[in-house]
Amino acid sequence: MDVRNEIRKLARIEESPFPFLSLYIDTKWDDEQQRERTRLFTKNQLKRAYDHVKDREDWRNAFFEDQKLIERYVEGLVRRVYQEGVNGFAVFSCSRSKIFLTYPSSVPYENEFFLSDLPILRPLVRLSSQYQNTLAVMVDTDSAKLFEVSVEGLMAESHIESYVPGRHDQGGWAQGRYQRHIKDHMDKHHKEVAEQLTELFDSGKWRRVVLIGQDRIIANFRAFLPERVRQQIADTFSMDFSQGRAAVLRRVSERLLQKEKEGISRQIQELKERTPQNGLATFGLNSTLEALNRGQVHTLYLLTSFSQSAGRCRQCHTLVLAPPSRDQQPLCPL
């Protein structure tokens, strides 16, 4: 499943005359208390939502159906065994439009709930923009683990084993020849792993590569990667080869998200420094909104804490800061 394509489909959904419920939950559970907190969060948010719809008969009746669907789904998540590599879920429900969609995530969401007449996509968009499809390879002298990871979680995993002769206690020339023999076997193994990694990378599905292993082993392995793959190496770090799948995926996710945040901070700082010279960037709400309405925005950066009521002018569909009143048309800013 391509999350970005799913976001485009969700964004094309038109306003519904019935309630549309959007739920984002963190399922990175380490104990039963955390599972219970997720259940209580969902229950409390649905109760608050009911208080908003109870006086609207059409919404109230539809809401009951969505409430049952979401409670049943969350209860199933809470009761089941932890699914490795899946740390969050986005749930969208509009029963009267026959919509009930769920999207797993390898990265945990903040617990959030929205009641609207459209699916609220911001947390999903934010996560998909931060996390690109990644190939993570864990390399040793004679073994390798290759993880294909997307925002939904682990897509596939493969193991590659090769025979490399062990150490012996001979010295002198015999020892030297033996070490060269070991090096030849390791090179053959690394070449095989690099070929498999490159074949996957060339499929076009994967945007980033992460290398995991001891420094000397990674240095040897990199030499067998073509330049086009080396250019997309997003991170390299060391980790005990005996670590389980869940620990590896969690470490990869945490490091990539941190690097993504650092990268965005650098990009924004560079924009601030270049703006006075070429005028190709803008900052602040009003000037950014104007650029959006003129179709001049290539990349948009938003603070995660940003929140602003907005809508469209009913005459020209221009974005405006206040939603259009039912009784009075807002002034078009263009």
Q: Is residue 165 scored above 80 in pLDDT?
A: no
Secondary structure class of 222 (helix, strand, coil): helix
The pTM assigned to this predicted structure is 0.68
Structure tokens at 44: 């409390």
Structure tokens at 258: 């941190």
Q: What is the pLDDT of residues 42-93, one digit of tens each?
A: 999 999 999 999 888 889 989 999 999 999 999 988 887 656 667 889 999 9
The arithmetic mean of pLDDT across residues 160-183, rounded, is 64
Domains of the chain in sequence order: 3-130 (3.30.960.10), 134-261 (3.30.420.60), 282-334 (no CATH)
Q: Is residue 277 scored above 90 in pLDDT?
A: no
Confidence band, pLDDT 50/70/90 cuts, at residue 178: low
Cα torsion angle, 316, 321, 325, 328, sign: negative
Q: Is residue 260 scored above 60 in pLDDT?
A: yes
Residue 210 or residue 170, greater confidence = 210
Q: Please say whether the beta carbons of 141 and 189 come within 8 A.
A: yes
Q: Is residue 121 scored above 80 in pLDDT?
A: yes
Confidence band, pLDDT 50/70/90 cuts, at residue 95: very high
The arithmetic mean of pLDDT across residues 265-292, rounded, is 79
Confidence band, pLDDT 50/70/90 cuts, at residue 278: low
Q: Is residue 244 scored above 70 in pLDDT?
A: yes
The full DSSP string for 38-85 is HHHHHHHHHHHHHHHHTT-HHHHHHHHHHHHHHHHHHHHHHHSPP-TT
pLDDT at 89: 93
Secondary structure class of 323 (helix, strand, coil): coil
Q: Is residue 151 scored above 90 in pLDDT?
A: no
Q: Is residue 172 scored above 60 in pLDDT?
A: no
Report the candidate in 83, 72, 84, 81 with the shortest Cα–Cα distance to residue 23: 72
Confidence band, pLDDT 50/70/90 cuts, at residue 234: very high
Report the candidate in 216, 260, 254 with the shortest Cα–Cα distance to residue 238: 216
Residue 274 or residue 134, greater confidence = 134
Q: How far is the C-alpha of 234 from the C-alpha of 199, rounded, in Å?
A: 18
pLDDT at 19: 93
pLDDT at 325: 52
Q: Which residue has 């001891």 as its token pair?
A: 214
Structure tokens at 97: 């439009």
Report the candidate in 235, 221, 216 with the shortest Cα–Cα distance to residue 162: 221
pLDDT at 322: 67
The residue count for the chain = 334
The arithmetic mean of pLDDT across residues 254-278, rounded, is 79
The full DSSP string for 229-243 is HHTTEEEEE---TT-
155, containing H or E segment: strand 153-161
The full DSSP string for 270-313 is HHHHHHHHH-----SHHHHHHHHHTT--S-----TT-----EE-
Q: Please say whether the beta carbons of 148 and 199 come within 8 A.
A: no
Q: How far is the C-alpha of 19 from the C-alpha of 315, rounded, in Å?
A: 25
pLDDT at 125: 86
Report the candidate in 94, 129, 108 with the shortest Cα–Cα distance to residue 253: 108
pLDDT at 296: 85
Confidence band, pLDDT 50/70/90 cuts, at residue 320: confident
Residue 28 contacts by C-beta under 8 Å, 6 or more apart in sequence?
Answer: 34, 87, 88, 108
Residue 96 contacts by C-beta under 8 Å, 6 or more apart in sequence?
Answer: 16, 17, 18, 62, 65
pLDDT at 84: 60
Average pLDDT, the chain: 84
Q: Is residue 190 scored above 80 in pLDDT?
A: yes
Angle at 301 between CA 8 and CA 148, to 5 degrees: 55
Percent of the chain's residues with pLDDT above 90: 39
Helices marked H in the chain = 3-11, 32-53, 57-79, 122-130, 172-201, 215-222, 227-230, 245-278, 285-293
